[in-house]
Amino acid sequence: MDFEPGHLVVFLPAFGAWLAHAPVLSFKLFEGLAAPLDGGLTFRGARVFGDNKTWRGALTMFAGTLVSTLLLWRLAWYKELLPSELLVRGAWAHGSLLGLAVVVGELPNSFIKRQLGISPGGHQDSRLGTLLSIFDQADFVLAAWLVFLPLWVMPVLELLASFAVVGLVHLGVSLVGRLIGARRTVL
């Protein structure tokens, strides 16, 4: 269970989720699936996840992650860096579990934000709001750690490094998106 920096590539296909989701949102595709995952349910007077967590987003992000995984698995350098425990399970297992983590990993943070009165896509101007926004950049990494457990026990140092790297890369992408006018905020 040694730390392997190359194992960070396990999370690379997750960026396919956002690459798939952006055009779906921009071109208003699959509008029939734009229903909220929580079905409008509330908990303690606040929405469970809010309007931004939809079936369309969940399915698109899952599919984007899976397709990215299948494509990356065609590259020898990529497969050489993967943990052997995932390698023996195959691309479909890797992509499906990572896709599940990308979708499910966002839900706890959304739930907490709704309970704190933070609107979907918004942030609260407080230390807690800032922490939640930073956590939101890589929340799926923790979910991936959990869903991969039956196949691969990621060492804690790899988990922390993965969380940090994914968070920083996501922040960088968000900054570029803000600079080009594709995003309203960085966090």
Contact between 166 and 136 under an 8 Å Cβ cutoff? The reply is: no
Residue type for position 176: V
pLDDT score at 162: 94
Burial (0-12, 13-18, 19+ Cβ within 10 Å), 167: middle
Q: Could you tell me the pTM of the whole model?
A: 0.91
Token readout for 10 is 């396990």
> Which sign, positive or negative, has the C-alpha torsion 24, 130, 156, 164?
positive
pLDDT score at 12: 96
Helix (H) or strand (E) holding 43: strand 42-43
DSSP 8-state code for residue 162? H
pLDDT score at 40: 96
pLDDT score at 112: 92
Residues 52 and 156: their CA atoms lie apart, in Å, by 31
Residues 55 and 82: their CA atoms lie apart, in Å, by 30
Which residues fall within 8 angstroms of residue 134, CB to CB, at 6 or more apart? 167, 187
pLDDT score at 186: 63
> Among candidates 67, 38, 74, which has minimal Cα distance to 54?
38
Helix (H) or strand (E) holding 14: none
187 residues of the chain, pLDDT tens digit each: 577 989 999 999 999 998 999 899 889 999 999 999 999 999 999 999 999 999 999 999 999 999 999 999 999 999 999 999 999 999 999 999 999 999 999 999 999 989 988 877 666 677 777 777 778 889 999 999 999 999 999 999 999 999 999 999 988 877 877 677 666 666 6
Burial (0-12, 13-18, 19+ Cβ within 10 Å), 28: exposed
pLDDT score at 45: 95
pLDDT score at 99: 98
> What is the domain partition of the chain in residue ranges?
5-179
| Residue whose token pair is 């930073």 | 134
Contact between 26 and 183 under an 8 Å Cβ cutoff? The reply is: no
